[in-house]
Structure 1
Amino acid sequence: MTKHAPHLRIEMDNINDVPHVWIDGEQVDDFPKHGLTDMEVHWCTTTVSVPYNHISVTWYDGATQKVKHIGESNLGGADA
């Protein structure tokens, strides 16, 4: 059974602002309902010898009062 990969959308107007992030259509940076706490994105073209792509998003979910995380890497697999 294949695990569902979440649909991720990121918008940034300024490098110093909090990014606007949606995961499966739900905005996870929408304070105070949610709070984005950490995000990493590394993408590399496939023309390099060993392309390494990685994404990690961590946020606080106010509805469940828990920290949630999604992440995936083409070298280490999904860690969502």
Structure 2
Amino acid sequence: MTLVAIVLLAGALLPTLLTTMYGRPVDRLAGLMLAGPLVTLTLIVLAAAYGRPAYLDVALVLAVLSFAGSLVFARFLGRTL
């Protein structure tokens, strides 16, 4: 069951990464904001699957940093438009 969840989350991550790399600036921001929670959920599922609570710490740090990174990118985007 966890393998299915990991595959689905990784499959959902592919379009967001492509959008983040090759989209317009506004689309890149949307891809960045969507990629953070997807990777965080993937790490949480991995922590549950392997029984390693250290992955939960990494997921928490990633969630905070991805939110902060989105804010920085949005502020930069607001200056350039």
Fold shared by both chains (TM-score > 0.5): no
Higher helix residue share? 2
TM-score by length of 2: 0.27
Higher strand residue share? 1
TM-score by length of 1: 0.27
Structure with bigger RCO (C-alpha 8 Å, 6+ apart): 2
